[in-house]
Amino acid sequence: METQIRRVGVDELARYALVPIRFWVHSMLRVQPLDGGLGGLWLVEEPVRPPYLKDYDAQSGGEEGPMQWALQFDVRHGGFFLAEVGDRPVGAAAVAFDSPGVHMLENRPDLAVLWDIRVHPRWRGRGIGTQLLHVAAAWAREQGAHQLKIETQNVNVAACRFYAAQGCTLGAIHRYGYAGCPEVAHETMLLWYLDL
């Protein structure tokens, strides 16, 4: 069966949330500062032992997942997309644009944020993530955005490789981006940018 991607409303976020956003962490990108950081930052992949399962929706007790977005943010100008095979949700993506209160937008009227992208573990490796990213980028472009910003972490090596392969540029490495969140304080924030 062919994958169909459609834009959905906030009323379908429960269906969106049926697609899990979890993955096994087998390696991470350790940040190696050169000359105290003045010589730049080097990312070195190293194994994680023991590997562990990371589930973004389970973080903070599930208070940050799709079902909470409309309660936490102004989602009127957001784009929500669902990838389905038949009637089965297999992937999803969310884009924030012109959304008050979303600090990742940096007060830039030309910037959109890929807030979330997920593909069901059983459906990974079939191009669904690429299709979702293209649909999300096209939608952001139609809204007037010139750049798409994407946040991930150094423990999501597969996502980093995916964004690089899609033409995104690593624009920032924030080693202390999660210092205020004890459960993920050991992670490094990586910000990717895609010119639209």
3-state secondary structure 34-86: CHHHCCCEEEEEEEEEEEEEEEHHHHHHHCCCHHHHHHHCCCCCCEEEEEEEC
24 CB-contact burial (10 Å; exposed 0-12 / middle 13-18 / buried 19+):
exposed
pLDDT level of residue 33 (50, 70, 90 thresholds): very high
pLDDT digits over 58-111, tens only?
876 667 788 888 878 878 889 999 999 999 999 999 999 998 888 899 999 999
Beta bridge partners of 3: 85
Question: What is the per-residue pLDDT for 60?
Answer: 65
pLDDT level of residue 39 (50, 70, 90 thresholds): very high
Three-class secondary structure of residue 111 per DSSP: strand
Please say whether the beta carbons of 196 and 145 come within 8 A.
Answer: yes
CATH superfamily membership of 3-195: Gcn5-related N-acetyltransferase (GNAT) (3.40.630.30)
Please say whether the beta carbons of 138 and 95 come within 8 A.
Answer: no
Q: Average the pLDDT over 25-32 and give the result.
A: 97
Q: Average the pLDDT over 10-32 and give the result.
A: 95
187 CB-contact burial (10 Å; exposed 0-12 / middle 13-18 / buried 19+):
buried
* CA–CA distance, 195 with 171 (Å, rounded to integer): 12
